[in-house]
Amino acid sequence: MSDLETRLAAALHADAPPARDVRFRIEALVRLEQARFRRRVFVSVLIAAVVAVAAAVSGTALDVRIADVQRIGIVGAVAMVALLALLARPGGIRTLWRAVDRWLYS
């Protein structure tokens, strides 16, 4: 290796980050936690919105003889099952969910 090549190699490898960097690792973990928190909040809000919409739509269609508590329970359970079924279904909804997930982590 010529002198110029040796100098080039030394200059290219100068100022490299350390092999172990605890601060960087912690910062990356903090970002991950923030993204996961955003995701959890988003999922909670989404579920709440679905349940609210389902309750509003189907509440009027249910028999008025069913007690209010029972009605909310039934509508909530149906909405949850519908949401879980949609998320588990391969294809459209799942792809959409992944896209939202990526956006939340970006």
Helix (H, G, I), strand (E, B) or coil at 89: coil
Q: Toward another protein, which CB reaches closer, 29 or 45?
A: 29
Structure tokens at 75: 């509508």
105 binds another protein (CB under 8 A): yes
Q: Are 82 and 47 in contact (CB under 8 A)?
A: no
12 binds another protein (CB under 8 A): yes
Structure tokens at 89: 């279904």
User: Which 18-47 residues touch another protein, going by CB under 8 A?
Assistant: 18-21, 24-25, 27-29, 31-32, 35
4 binds another protein (CB under 8 A): yes
